């Protein structure tokens, strides 16, 4: 297990370096960093001096090494537009996105998995058919449309929920949380539902098809022939085998939730990194864009690592422990 | 054995299993009757699709959907079990009727250790503590011939070879000391060298525990070695049922006769093995009269219209008009 984590960590480092190279290339070669930072009236000498002080005259590998070192320390440079360190802006924005993604992911899993199990166990019941119909809507309607419809109903017509922003946030150390205030929780509902809806339907359909397949296997038939209770067969034997492939897809989907929070954040004006990224693109704020790129890649790498570890916990066939088949 | 006065352990009367389809019902098992005495091994033999596995599935109440018992009765120790609600039948499965399936590689759940699967089964049927159940699991593994069982109990199925896995499956079937085991092709998926070991093991365990076995297989060799009596099935019906020595050496029914002639024998110079022309009819195309009539060399007009019934011939029962006083009409 330790060996696996170390091996996977090496791979993660390589992935992160490649992403850093992309981010660096973007930072260094998309436009001229100096002319982005200075005003129209800066003289050529001043520009040249700035170029030297920023190290832009150094050989490219040296610059890349410096970029990697800085990035690793959470130093992403200074936003062109806001004139503040990107790290500072990120630390304000990351909690909003992570809280939104966490709630959306939990919603998708805690609702999607039971719905999938139910539809697999009772394919003929009308409720299963209703779930499947609803899931078609969830899979085919674009996220922004669901978000706008929700705003229309619950925000504008019924006036139950706030239509934008995070509501009141409470600071816990350096982390701003919306979980502790009524308006924070209320503001979270619609964005989390919107963001989780697509993943929910995906997880539900995946669980359903995997479980229906597992229910046809010999070991399920044999478990029934041993007289095990329905509960033990369906949840002890069938569900556990269903979850092996589901873990992989769900893990990747959680990465997607973080990455694609951009759309939901734009619709609900949610002050997270996704909204920040969209605004940065509009303003060609390269440091923020490259920081976002590195950050999302980091989320994916961490989630993949967790998925790999979970996989080994669930499936004994992947654990190489030296005692193969014998006897 | 079947002729003795004691109550049979399992009694199947006129069992008919149907699979409703859009184009009418398929009859997989048609009017099958058989008895198994306590401790007896009954072989059920036939080609693929002869209904032998479906008979076994019907007895343990696990017919694949949409199959159902259309008519007939199944009695276990004199008590009807074919019409029990699911939950009551579940308590009989594993406890009073054990099952062994064909493929040991897929019969065990890959995500649980063999110990967990044994303990789970034992605790479902017997009132034992975790510790007691585990001790029993180790005993069972030792009994089925798994070396260093106390250590191997924490291993996962993929760490066992095919033959060893089938031993684990047998241990699982024996968990609650059932009086009857339905063994559906228990050796088919195994290497030939392992088959004999598994058959010997099943025979030995059943003798020691007094367990009766319904041994479903297409392998006449396995039947000849293991069974006390044999039922030969053809197109969902029983063609012949009787003591194994008699059926093997002295087959009465033309189908059984052909079947035995197709087995090569060591030490006999035979130019060609006999072969039954044609193939078993599909369930949708079973002819009227005797189901075997298109392939039978001894058929008469009566065989084409009237379905033969099982009639005693020496110590066996045979479904063939050849043995009827009125004959085949030829």
pLDDT in tens, B234-280: 888 999 999 988 888 888 888 888 888 777 766 666 667 777 777 88
pLDDT for B2 beyond 60: no
**One domain for residues B307 and B217:** yes
**One domain for residues B173 and B195:** no
User: What is the C-alpha separation between B101 and B112, in angstroms, rounded?
Assistant: 18
Q: Which residues of chain B have a CB within 8 Å of the CB of A314? A: 111
**One domain for residues A274 and A130:** yes
**One domain for residues B198 and B292:** yes
Query: Is A272 within the bounds of a domain?
Result: yes
The tally of domains found in chain A comes to 2
Chain B residue set in contact with A, beta carbons under 8 Å? 60, 62, 86, 90-95, 98-99, 101, 103, 106-113, 120-121, 124-125, 146-147, 152, 155-156, 158-161, 164, 169, 172-173, 175-176
**One domain for residues A50 and A148:** no
Domain end, chosen from B177, B193, B208, is at: B177
Residue A324's pLDDT is what?
40
**One domain for residues A109 and A228:** yes
**One domain for residues A97 and A230:** yes
* 3-class secondary-structure state, position A170: strand
Chain B: residue nearest A238 by CA? B109
**One domain for residues B37 and B167:** no
CATH of the domain at A253: 1.10.3720.10
**Candidate from A222, A230, A240 with C-beta closest to B107:** A222
Instruction: Tell me chain B's radius of gyration from C-alpha atoms.
Output: 21
DSSP codes, B41-78: EEEEE-STTSSHHHHHHHHHT-PPTT-EEEEEEEEETT
Residue A320's pLDDT is what?
59
Structure tokens at A184: 């924070």
Query: Can you give the pTM of this predicted structure?
Result: 0.80
**One domain for residues B195 and B316:** yes
Residue A228, min C-alpha distance to chain B (Å):
6
Q: Print the domain residue range for B239.
A: 10-96+178-323
- A240-244: Cβ within 8 A, 24+ apart: A240/A314, A240/B109, A240/B111, A241/A214, A241/A217, A241/B109, A241/B110, A241/B111, A242/A117, A242/A120, A242/A207, A242/A210, A242/A211, A242/A214, A243/A314, A244/A311, A244/A314, A244/A315, A244/B111
Query: Is B2 within the bounds of a domain?
Result: no
When pLDDT is cut at 50, 70 and 90, the band that residue A327 belongs to is very low
Domain end, chosen from B177, B197, B220, is at: B177
**One domain for residues A189 and A51:** no
**One domain for residues A202 and A249:** yes
3-state percent helix, strand, coil for chain A, nearest multiple of 5: 75, 5, 25
**Candidate from B107, B161, B169 with C-beta closest to A327:** B161
- For the segment A265-288, the average pLDDT, to the nearest whole number, is 86
User: What is the C-alpha separation between B173 and B180, in angstroms, rounded?
Assistant: 10
**One domain for residues A51 and A106:** no
Query: Is A88 within the bounds of a domain?
Result: no
Token pair 């480092």: residue: A13
Query: Is A83 within the bounds of a domain?
Result: no
Query: Is B330 within the bounds of a domain?
Result: no
- pLDDT tens digits for range B77-131: 988 998 889 899 999 998 999 999 888 888 999 999 999 999 999 999 999 999 9
Tell me the residue ranges of DSSP E strands in chain A. Answer: 170-172, 175-177
The tally of domains found in chain B comes to 2
Q: Name residues whose C-beta falls within 8 Å of residue A282's C-beta, 6 or more positions apart in sequence.
A: none
Chain A: residue nearest B118 by CA? A226
Say if the Cβ atoms of B110 and A317 lie within 8 Å: yes
CATH of the domain at B60: 3.40.50.300
**One domain for residues A100 and A66:** no
**One domain for residues A262 and A119:** yes
Chain B: residue nearest A217 by CA? B106
Q: Print the domain residue range for A67.
A: 2-72
Domain end, chosen from B125, B142, B177, is at: B177
- For the segment A21-46, the average pLDDT, to the nearest whole number, is 78
Give the ipTM of the model, two decimals please: 0.86
Q: Name residues whose C-beta falls within 8 Å of residue A70's C-beta, 6 or more positions apart in sequence.
A: A76, A77
Q: Which residues of chain B have a CB within 8 Å of the CB of A232? A: 120, 124
**One domain for residues B85 and B117:** no
Say if the Cβ atoms of A228 and B124 lie within 8 Å: yes
Chain A: residue nearest B156 by CA? A316
Q: Which residues of chain A have a CB within 8 Å of the CB of B107? A: 218-219, 222
């Amino acid at each position: 297990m330790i060996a696996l984590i170390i091996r996977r960590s090496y791979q993660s480092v390589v992935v992160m370096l490649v992403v850093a190279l992309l981010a660096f290339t973007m930072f260094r070669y998309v436009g001229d960093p100096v002319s982005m930072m200075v005003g129209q009236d800066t003289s050529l000498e001043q520009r040249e001096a700035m170029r030297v002080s920023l190290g832009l005259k150094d050989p490219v590998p040296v610059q890349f090494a410096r970029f990697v070192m800085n990035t690793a320390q959470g130093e992403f440079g200074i936003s062109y537009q806001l004139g503040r360190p990107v790290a500072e802006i990120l630390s304000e924005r990351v909690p909003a996105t992570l809280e939104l993604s966490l709630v959306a992911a939990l919603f998708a899993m805690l609702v999607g998995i039971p719905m999938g199990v139910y539809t697999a166990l009772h394919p003929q019941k009308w409720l299963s058919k209703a779930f499947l119909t609803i899931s078609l809507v969830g899979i085919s309607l674009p996220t922004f449309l669901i978000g706008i419809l929700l705003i229309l109903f619950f925000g504008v017509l019924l006036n139950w929920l706030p239509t934008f922003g995070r509501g009141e946030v409470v600071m816990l150390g350096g982390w701003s949380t919306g979980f502790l205030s009524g308006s924070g929780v209320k503001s979270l509902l619609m964005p989390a539902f919107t963001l989780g809806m697509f993943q929910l339907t995906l997880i539900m359909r995946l669980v359903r098809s995997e479980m229906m397949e597992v229910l046809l296997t010999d070991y399920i038939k044999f478990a029934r022939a041993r007289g095990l209770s329905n509960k033990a067969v369906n949840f002890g034997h069938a569900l556990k085998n269903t979850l092996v492939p589901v873990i992989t897809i769900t893990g990747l989907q959680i990465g997607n939730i973080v990455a694609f929070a951009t759309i939901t954040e734009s619709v609900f004006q949610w002050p997270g990194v996704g909204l920040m990224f969209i605004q940065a693109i509009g303003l060609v704020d390269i440091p923020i864009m490259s920081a976002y790129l590195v950050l999302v890649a980091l989320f994916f790498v961490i989630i993949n690592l967790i998925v790999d570890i979970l996989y080994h916990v669930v499936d004994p066939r992947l654990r190489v422990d030296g005692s193969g088949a014998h006897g | 054995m079947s002729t003795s006065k004691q109550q049979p352990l399992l009694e199947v009367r006129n069992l008919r299993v149907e699979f409703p389809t859009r184009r009418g019902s398929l009859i997989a098992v048609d009017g099958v009757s058989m008895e198994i005495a306590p401790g007896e091994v009954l072989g059920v033999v036939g080609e693929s699709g002869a209904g032998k596995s479906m008979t076994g599935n019907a007895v343990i109440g696990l017919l694949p959907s949409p199959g159902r018992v259309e008519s007939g009765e199944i009695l276990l120790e004199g008590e009807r079990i074919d019409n029990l609600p699911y939950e009551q039948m579940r308590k009989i499965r594993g406890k009073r009727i054990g099952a062994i399936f064909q493929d040991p590689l897929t019969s065990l759940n890959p995500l649980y250790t063999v110990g967990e699967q044994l303990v789970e089964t034992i605790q479902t049927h017997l009132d034992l503590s975790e510790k007691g159940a585990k001790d029993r699991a180790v005993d069972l593994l030792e009994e089925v011939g798994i070396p260093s069982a106390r250590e191997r109990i924490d291993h996962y199925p993929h760490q066992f070879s095919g033959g060893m896995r089938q031993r684990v499956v047998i241990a699982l079937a024996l968990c609650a000391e059932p009086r009857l085991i339905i063994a559906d092709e228990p050796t088919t998926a195994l290497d030939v060298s392992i088959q004999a070991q598994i058959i010997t093991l099943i025979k030995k365990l059943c003798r020691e525990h007094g367990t009766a076995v319904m041994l479903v297989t297409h392998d006449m060799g396995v039947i000849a070695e293991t069974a006390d009596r044999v039922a030969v099935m053809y197109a969902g019906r029983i063609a012949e049922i009787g003591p194994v020595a008699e059926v093997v050496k002295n087959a009465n029914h033309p189908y059984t006769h052909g079947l035995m002639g197709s087995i090569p024998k060591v030490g006999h110079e035979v130019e060609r093995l006999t072969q039954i022309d044609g193939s078993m009819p599909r369930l949708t195309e079973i002819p009227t009269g005797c189901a075997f009539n298109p392939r039978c060399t001894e058929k008469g007009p009566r065989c084409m219209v009237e379905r033969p019934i099982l009639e005693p011939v020496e110590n066996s029962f045979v479904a063939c008009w050849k043995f009827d006083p009125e004959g085949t009409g030829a």
